[in-house]
Amino acid sequence: MEEARNELPTPRDRDRGRGSDRDRGPGRDRDAGERSGSRERSGPAPEPIRFYGTTWVDRSGGYAARRAGLALAAFSAAALGVLVLRLAHEGLALAETGGLINILLIVAFAMCSSLAFSRTWAGYTRRPERPEGHGPGATASAAPSSQGIKLIGFLGVLLAYGVRSLVEAPGERLHRTEYEQAVALYERRRGARTGNPAARRARKGRKR
C-alpha cells in the first residue's frame, strides 16, 4: 500500500505538469500563428532566375555586372563554338567526303541554329505551350525534338542568351509580369478578406 501511494502523483506534481503544459502550449500556438501571419503579410515571392537569383526585382546585388559578365561569356562561348565547327569542317574537307555532304552539314547547322535562336528567344518572353499527349508539367521546350534542335544549334542558344543579356536578364520580362500579376491578385484577395470595417458593421446591424 505504501509503495502504491508513493507511485501516485501528488497534487504538487499535477500542478507542476499543468503549469508546464500551459507554458508550452500557447507559446507553440503563438509561434505558429506568427509564422503563418508573416507568410500572409509577405505575399507572393519572386521566382529566381539562374545566375541572377531575385536581384532582377529591384536590379540590385550586382545585377548590371552579372548581365555584362554573362553576355560576354555567352558571346565568347559562341565564338569558340564557331572555331570548333570550322575545324570540323576543315577535317571533313581533308577527308574528301564530298562537296554535297559538306553543304548539307552547313545547311543543317544553320537551320538548327536559327530555330534554336528563335525558340530560346521566345522562351524568354512567354511560357512554352504544353505538347499534346504530355503531362501537366511538360512543356514544348522539354520535348526531345526541341532539345535535339537546341543541342545541334547551340550557337543560336548562346547568341540568344548573349543578346538578351544586353537588354535585361534573360526571362526577366516574363518573371516580372507574372510576379506583378501575382502581387496584384494577392492584394485583391487580401482586400476582399479584410473588407471595409464600416460596411461590415452595417451588415451586422441589419442582421440584428
Query: Model confidence over 44-89: pLDDT tens digits?
Result: 899 999 999 999 999 999 999 999 999 999 999 999 999 999 998 8
Give pairs for 142-151: CB < 8 Å, separation 24+. Answer: 146/119, 149/112, 149/115, 149/116, 149/119, 150/116, 150/119, 150/120
**The pLDDT of residue 11 is above 70:** no
Mean pLDDT over the full length of the chain: 77
Q: Which residues contact 135 (CB under 8 A, 6 or more apart)?
A: none
Q: For the segment 133-191, what is each residue's pLDDT rounded down to a tens digit?
A: 544 444 545 566 788 899 999 999 999 999 999 999 999 999 999 999 999 999 988 88
**Distance (Å, rounded) from C-alpha 6 to C-alpha 10?**
9
Q: Give which of 189, 169, 182, 184 is closest to 57, Cα–Cα.
A: 169
How does residue 116 score in pLDDT terms, banded at 50, 70 and 90? very high
Which has the higher per-residue pLDDT, 75 or 26? 75
Say what the pLDDT of residue 130 is: 58
Q: Global pTM? A: 0.68
Picking from 91, 115, 113, the residue whose alpha carbon sits closest to that of residue 101 is: 91
Residue 92 is predicted with a pLDDT of: 79
Q: How far apart are CA 160 and CA 168, in angstroms?
A: 12
**How far, in Å, CA of 77 to CA of 16, rounded?**
70
| Residue 206: predicted pLDDT | 56
Instruction: Indicate if the pLDDT at residue 127 is higher than 50.
Output: yes
